[in-house]
Amino acid sequence: MPINTPLLDFYRTMRRIRSFEEHVADLYVRGGTAGSMLHLSIGEEAAAAGVSAAMKPEDRFTTHHRGHGIFLARGAAPDRMMAEIAGKEVGYCRGKGGSMHIADMALGHLGANAIVGGGIPHVVGAGLSAKRLGTGAVAVAFFGDGAMQQGLLYESMNMAALWELPVVFVCVNNQYGMATRIDHATKVTAFDQRARAFGLAAAMVDGEDVEAVHAAASEIVDGARAGQPGYLAVTCYRFFGHGRMDKSPYRSPEEEAAGRKRDPIAFARARLIERGLSEAAALDAIDTAARAEMAATVDFATAATAPALASMFRDVFAVGEPEPESVRTRIARVLARS
Ligand X SMILES: Cc1ncc(C[n+]2csc(CCOP(=O)(O)OP(=O)(O)O)c2C)c(N)n1
Label residue 238 left, alpha or beta by phi (over 0 means left) and psi (-120 to 50 means alpha): beta
Question: Which amino acid type is present at position 302?
Answer: T
| DSSP states along 113-149 | -SSTTTTHHHHHHHHHHHHHHT----EEEEEEGGGGG
Q: From the list 97, 108, 144, 307, which residue makes contact with Mg ion (rule: CB under 5 A)? A: 144
Determine, following the binding rule CB under 6 A, whether residue 194 of this chain makes contact with ligand X.
no
Determine, following the binding rule CB under 8 A, whether residue 87 of this chain makes contact with another protein.
yes
Determine, following the binding rule CB under 8 A, whether residue 132 of this chain makes contact with another protein.
no
Q: 171 phi and psi, to 5 degrees?
A: -95, 115
> 260 with 239: CB under 8 angstroms?
yes
Determine, following the binding rule CB under 8 A, whether residue 307 of this chain makes contact with another protein.
yes
Q: List the beta bridge partners of residue 177.
A: 180
Enter the DSSP assignment of 232: E
> Which of ligand X, another protein, Mg ion, none does residue 332 bind to, with CB < 5 to 8 Å depending on kind?
another protein
Q: From the list 21, 84, 104, 145, which residue makes contact with Mg ion (rule: CB under 5 A)? A: 145
Determine, following the binding rule CB under 8 A, whether residue 241 of this chain makes contact with another protein.
no
- If one counts every other C-beta atom within 10 angstroms of the C-beta of residue 166, the result is 28
Q: Which is nearer to another protein, 75 or 243 (CB)?
A: 243
Q: From the list 114, 152, 215, 289, which residue makes contact with ligand X (rule: CB under 6 A)? A: 114
Determine, following the binding rule CB under 5 A, whether residue 84 of this chain makes contact with Mg ion.
no
As a dihedral over the C-alpha atoms of residue 74, residue 77, residue 78, residue 84, rounded to 10 degrees, the angle is -100
Nearest approach in angstroms of CB 85 to ligand X is 16
Determine, following the binding rule CB under 8 A, whether residue 251 of this chain makes contact with another protein.
no
Determine, following the binding rule CB under 8 A, whether residue 101 of this chain makes contact with another protein.
yes
**In the range 20-59, which residues lie near ligand X by CB under 6 A?**
39
Q: From the list 3, 115, 226, 270, which residue makes contact with another protein (rule: CB under 8 A)? A: 115
Residues 146-161 as b/e (b if ≥16 CB within 10 A, e otherwise) read bbbebeebbebbebbb
Question: Which amino acid type is present at position 89?
Answer: E
Q: Which is nearer to another protein, 177 or 264 (CB)?
A: 177
Label residue 62 left, alpha or beta by phi (over 0 means left) and psi (-120 to 50 means alpha): beta
For CA atoms 20, 23, 27, 28, the dihedral sign is positive
**In the range 133-172, which residues lie near ligand X by CB under 6 A?**
144-147
Q: From the list 100, 110, 138, 294, which residue makes contact with another protein (rule: CB under 8 A)? A: 100
Smallest Cα–Cα separation from 68: which of 27, 24, 10? 24
Determine, following the binding rule CB under 6 A, whether residue 60 of this chain makes contact with ligand X.
no
Determine, following the binding rule CB under 6 A, whether residue 88 of this chain makes contact with ligand X.
no
Q: Which is nearer to ligand X, 214 or 242 (CB)?
A: 242
Nearest residue to Mg ion on Cβ basis: 144
CA distances from 148 to 39, 122, 123, 242 (A): 18, 16, 16, 17
State whether residue 173 is helix, strand or coil. Answer: strand
> Which of another protein, ligand X, Mg ion, none does residue 102 bind to, with CB < 5 to 8 Å depending on kind?
none
**In the range 173-192, which residues lie near Mg ion by CB under 5 A?**
174, 176-177
CA distances from 69 to 21, 39, 124, 311, 333 (A): 8, 11, 22, 29, 48
Nearest approach in angstroms of CB 248 to another protein is 11
Summarize as ranges the residues that interact with ligand X (CB under 6 A).
39, 64-66, 114-116, 144-147, 174, 176-178, 238, 242
Summarize as ranges the residues that interact with another protein (CB under 8 A).
34-37, 87-88, 95-98, 100-101, 113-118, 146-147, 149-151, 177-180, 184-186, 250, 306-307, 309, 311-313, 316, 324, 326-328, 330-332, 334-335, 338
Summarize as ranges the residues that interact with Mg ion (CB under 5 A).
144-145, 174, 176-177
